[in-house]
Amino acid sequence: MVAECTPIEHGARMTEYCTRHNRADIVYTKNLSEGLPPLGMWNEMQVIQMKYAPKFRKKPVDKPIFRIEVSPSLEESKGWTSEDWRRYAIRFLDELVKASQKSGKKGKKVPAIDLSRAQIFACVHHDSKSGIPHLHILINRIDLDGNLMTNRFIGNRCTMAAHTINVEEGWELPEDIHKANVKEITDACYKVLSEMQAYSWNDYVDRIKALGYDVKVQEDKDGVKHGYTIMKGNSRYKSSILGVGRDLMLKNLRGTWLKFHKANQVTVGSTDTGMGMAKPVSKPVVPEQSANVQGESSQSSTQSSGTKETRAYVLWDNNGKEQKTYVSDHIYNVIKDAVEPVNDSTEALENCIKTAILLFAGYVDGATRIAESCGGGGSPGSGWGRDKNEKDDDWARRCAKKASWLCKPVVKLKR
């Protein structure tokens, strides 16, 4: 059994998704009127959110709902009735409260989660694609008394709750499931690449889907693809964690295909890399040329006088003046691979990359302003800076890690 939790903005959309076409059965509700349809329950949650909106005027709650997905395996939930799912939902929520009291770093107090006055409803979703029933739980983060539930370590708390139940029931542990699924998907991707007689991104995606997986592609408004994620059931696996040495990432995929077919000297029959064309337009974090879309990136982060290389840049406001800050295409790719945006949106990815590039170039003030503009904040710290003899790639990865931290939304808690 695995569990995931994400703070979301639109509870109505999630409610409709879970229950449309009679795909879900409501098995548990708390602090909601009896007999309400799903959207009626969401409306009651909205009433509480609007009632206490003035309390959060200075720091609005932009993601007022916890969306939790709990997925036992088919074997674990075999023969379960609605009452079994109801008991399971209550048990998971009880463990979530207990887990929250153990979360956080040593020596730091983390607010506990109190669900006694929270509005909650849970439904069993019958997934038509995978055939695996799973539990959706929606929790209003603003309870009946106007208290805001913390979202700190919420993902870890769900994992801890699932781990406790798995141990007690003798079920397979989430970390073991994750490792097995990564290996399974990796083997499937390698098999697909080895069987392709000519490299084609579209053919690769079609073959992966034919094996029963789903493929989610991240691309910007210009259609430039930045990466992809493979779905197994309800679980997501980013291409960066698949394969060996990130060789199944989009930029490295063609090279991995070539390794399988090098011995046979197969001619590449398609120019379709899946990466799209990156045009030199005035947009943040877009490579100026497309020479490296197949992973053949430059090995230097600086421009030598006799060597022409592709570069990436960001546009930013430097004290009222628009400024372009460049890095090599190689450093851009290192940063893009290392950043960890708060969600899968292109905007979140671009903000993280933009912040990291400015940190790399030494524009700390500009980087922090960009982080603040997307809901983050703080500063890298007084000791922040490049270490003596630190290599370009290592410095770029450190900037990417710091940028990911800076761009995370700041949640102020009342004590």
Q: Name the helix (H) or strand (E) containing 317.
A: strand 311-318
pTM: 0.50
pLDDT at 363: 87
Q: Where are the beta strands (DSSP E) in 32-102?
A: 65-71
pLDDT at 139: 94
The torsion angles phi and psi of 148, rounded to 5 degrees, stand at -90, 125
Q: In whole angstroms, what is the distance from residue 349 CA to residue 339 CA? A: 8
pLDDT at 14: 59
> Is 176-261 the same fold as 2-172?
no
pLDDT at 180: 87
pLDDT at 102: 62
Nearest Cα neighbor of 69 from 46, 89, 42, 94 is 89
Mean pLDDT of the chain: 78
CA 4, 9, 10 angle in degrees (round to 5)?
95
Residues of the chain with confidence (pLDDT) below 50: 21, 263-309, 413-415
pLDDT at 116: 94
Give the type of residue at 189.
C
Would you say 8 and 65 are in contact if contact means Cβ atoms under 8 Å apart? yes
**Neighbour count for residue 76 (Cβ, 10 Å):** 16
Is 3.30.1300 the CATH classification of the domain at 176-261? yes
pLDDT at 283: 36
Q: In whole angstroms, what is the distance from residue 390 CA to residue 360 CA? A: 12
2-172: CATH number: 3.30.930
Q: Name the helix (H) or strand (E) containing 138.
A: strand 133-140
pLDDT at 130: 59
DSSP assignment of 350-388 equals HHHHHHHHHHHHT-HHHHHHHHHHTT----S-TT-SPPT
How far, in Å, are 185, 256, 331, 384 from residue 299 at the CA level?
Answer: 31, 19, 9, 25
pLDDT at 311: 67
Q: In whole angstroms, what is the distance from residue 155 CA to residue 46 CA? A: 24
pLDDT at 2: 78
Q: What is the pLDDT of residues 188-223, one digit of tens each?
A: 999 999 999 888 899 999 999 999 899 998 887 777
pLDDT at 265: 41
Residue ranges per structural domain of the chain? 2-172, 176-261, 286-406
Given phi > 0 = left and psi -120 to 50 = alpha, else beta, which region is 28? beta
